[in-house]
Amino acid sequence: NPRNLREEEEETKDLISSLSWEIDYIGNKLFKYEGHWYYEDILQSIPNLNTGFKPQETDVIVASFPKCGTTWLKALTFALVQRSKHPLGDHHHHPLLSHNPHEVMPYLELDLYLKTSKPDLTKFLSSSSSPRLFSTHMPLHVLQVPLKESPCKIVYVCRNLKDVLVSLWHFLNANKGVEWNDFSQKEKIVRVEDYSFEAMFESVCNGVTLYGPFWDHALSYWRGSLEDPKHVLFLMYEDLKAEPRTQLKRLADFLDCPFTKEEEDSGSVDKILELCSLSNLSSLEINKTGASGGVDYKTYFRKGEVGSWKSYVTPEMENKIDMITEEKLKGSGLNF
């Protein structure tokens, strides 16, 4: 009913105009909604998701705060879950050799429900047939509304915040021409020419970053994983780096597709890790030259190191961010 749709849009607009807002370090307007910060368009995806997203029990959602290892986890999850459909030995035909991991696993709020409650799921390789694979940067409480009726599997990847900060700074600087919230906003509020690391650091510390505060984001999934370990798995980027085989097997068990003895003996675990490695993915033509929405795929792959923040974060900054982190995570059992 078009009238209702227009009414809904009006309601969302009214709601947005009542929210508090801030300008972020790249000059965009962020709105605070239920404790987290979003661009206007992303906020509008929430009612679309709530009314339109019909989860299936077999759905898998890869969730993360930006720059925590989303691209890697998408690749691993896709290769793992689809290994009978896309055999690993078939190195010339595997979809990950000709598609960026983001192409095979759409973001619920960005690629699908940004502007509509009835997106065309067939546009994406893995979201049209069971098990459907999706991704999101939304905090868990946003998903819990549409997932109420049918809980599916959610895998979250978290990372040390100082490495996230450095990774984000490099990513945004490498994508300066991209208008991250130009979906409806015609003009940039403030034109920021240089993305200063210090300004970004302060915003992250204040929690005023897209999808932030970081700690609340991580804690929402951490608590979810403790309350409902069958449906929410919490992974750390650092653990994936340190013990990839163990973590991949953990992921397979969680997703109810454990490796069989034969698969283990024939090296399937290593084949997936090799296919999804930073060196392999970043050397593929698609990831060297492809782009989407103005973002060059190559900017999703940088160093992939643990602890490279040390060259950027001063001892004072380290102190400050560690103190906030300790305070925020106190008593939760979570550490990063």
Q: Which residues are catalytic?
A: 137
Nearer to ligand A3P (CB atom), residue 167 or residue 203: 167
- Pick the stretch among 66-74, 139-147, 225-233, 254-262 that binds ligand A3P (CB under 6 A): 66-74
Options 13, 123, 230, 303; binder of ligand A3P; rule CB under 6 A:
303
Kindly state the smallest distance separating residue 267's Cβ from ligand A3P, in Å: 19
Q: Are strands 21-23 and 29-33 parallel, antiparallel or unpaired?
A: antiparallel
Closest separation between CB of residue 317 and ligand A3P, Å?
Answer: 17
Window of 22-30, 38-46, 63-71, 323-331 that interacts with ligand A3P by CB under 6 A: 63-71
Burial class (CB in 10 A: 0-12, 13-18, 19+), 55: middle
300 is an interface residue for ligand A3P by CB under 6 A = yes
64 touches ligand A3P by CB under 6 A: yes
45 makes contact with ligand A3P (CB under 6 A) = no
The whole-angstrom separation of Cα 185 and Cα 28 is 9
Size of the site for ligand A3P (CB under 6 A): 22
Pairing of the two strands 133-136 and 232-236: unpaired
Concatenating the DSSP letter of every residue in 51-103 gives HH----TT-EEEEE-TTSSHHHHHHHHHHHHTTTTS-SS-TTT-HHHHS-HHH
Residues in 205-244 that interact with ligand A3P by CB under 6 A: none
What mask of x and - would describe binding to ligand A3P in positions 153 to 172, judged by CB under 6 A?
----------x---x--x--
Residue 184: how many other CB atoms lie within 10 Å: 11
Cα–Cα distance measured from residue 186 to residue 102, given in angstroms and rounded to the nearest whole number: 26
Token pair in block for residue 202: 């302060």
Of 27, 47, 55, 66, the residue at the interface with ligand A3P (CB under 6 A) is 66
Least CB distance to ligand A3P at residue 244 (A): 9
Among 28, 44, 45, 70, binds ligand A3P (CB under 6 A): 70
DSSP 294: T
Q: Bridge partners of 291?
A: 296
Contact 102, 71 (CB under 8 A): yes
Span from 55-63, 183-191, 266-274, 301-309 in contact with ligand A3P (CB under 6 A)? 301-309
CB of 254 to ligand A3P, least distance (A): 19
Q: How many CB atoms lie within 10 A of CB 219?
A: 18
Q: Does 78 bind ligand A3P (CB under 6 A)?
A: no
Stretch that binds ligand A3P, among 14-22, 118-126, 252-260, 297-305 (CB under 6 A): 297-305
Range list of H helices, the chain: 2-17, 40-52, 70-81, 95-98, 101-104, 140-144, 161-174, 197-206, 214-227, 237-242, 244-254, 261-265, 268-275, 278-283, 285-289, 315-329
Footprint on residues 267-296 left by ligand A3P (CB under 6 A): 276-278, 281
Name the residues that contact ligand A3P, by CB under 6 A. 64, 66-72, 75, 163, 167, 170, 276-278, 281, 300-304, 308
